[in-house]
Structure 1
Amino acid sequence: MNTLLHLKEIYLNAFRNISNYLVRNFFKVFAWFAFAMFLIVLYAFVFRVYTGFPFD
């Protein structure tokens, strides 16, 4: 739980000092997009490992 609180604080501090509205929102959307892409890759890897895909 402590790790999640630290990550939340880092995320909030990263965007607190950005002054331009467009740039701030662009980076927020990009951060969530990158996180979603990471989850998709993680899901695909776990699915392949679970179904016995040979990684040759």
Structure 2
Amino acid sequence: MDVVLKEFSERFKDSEKIFVALRLVAFPDLVATESALLDLQMEVVELKNNELLIKKFKKK
């Protein structure tokens, strides 16, 4: 069983990084800016301050 868990962990270790990036794109208003990778933090700030996107999120 330990072998299976280790293999699973190895196979999906990068998944969390991908999920974080997807959350940044899909829900920038729900993500803490400082939780983003350093090179994406300015992008998150811009997305959070984009009036057009804010209006679209509020409609949903």
TM-score, normalised on structure 2? Answer: 0.37
Which of structures 1 and 2 has the larger relative contact order (alpha carbons within 8 angstroms, sep 6+)? 2
